[in-house]
Amino acid sequence: QQPVQSPQAVILREGEDAVINCSSSKALYSVHWYRQKHGEAPVFLMILLKGGEQKGHDKISASFNEKKQQSSLYLTASQLSYSGTYFCGTEASLTGNQFYFGTGTSLTVIP
């Protein structure tokens, strides 16, 4: 039931772009994205709802393809502050009792 993320880890130079994918075996109602810096709590980035929407803020955006049960997080012109572990979180029901975090993607941005 845990969504699978790819890649597991990625190293970027400042200014490069990255894509993180999240894939679920279940039909989804929503996808959440979180970032966790080392030693800190996960912090919410955005939520995408059923309907195939795309969202973004600053240079981080995401898409949700409900037919494929997949979501992708796009980081453009990466900054050092983007380093951390990114988690998707998926909801497979309206009752909220099927929310699971993905396997995580470690992103390291180097100068």
Which residues of the shown chain bind other proteins in the complex (CB under 8 A)?
2, 29-30, 32, 34, 36, 40-44, 47, 49-50, 85, 87, 89, 91, 94-97, 99-101, 103-104, 106
Q: If DSSP states are collapsed to H, E and C, what string results for 23-83? A: ECCCCCCEEEEEEECCCCCCEEEEEEECCCCEEEECCEEEEEECCCCEEEEEECCCCHHHC
Comparing CB distances to other proteins, the nearer of 74 and 101 is 101
Q: How far is the CB of 15 from other proteins (least distance, A)?
A: 26
Comparing CB distances to other proteins, the nearer of 76 and 85 is 85
> Please, how many CA atoms are within 13 Å of residue 21, restricted to the half-sphere of its CB?
9
Q: How far is the CB of 35 from other proteins (least distance, A)?
A: 11
Comparing CB distances to other proteins, the nearer of 61 and 111 is 61
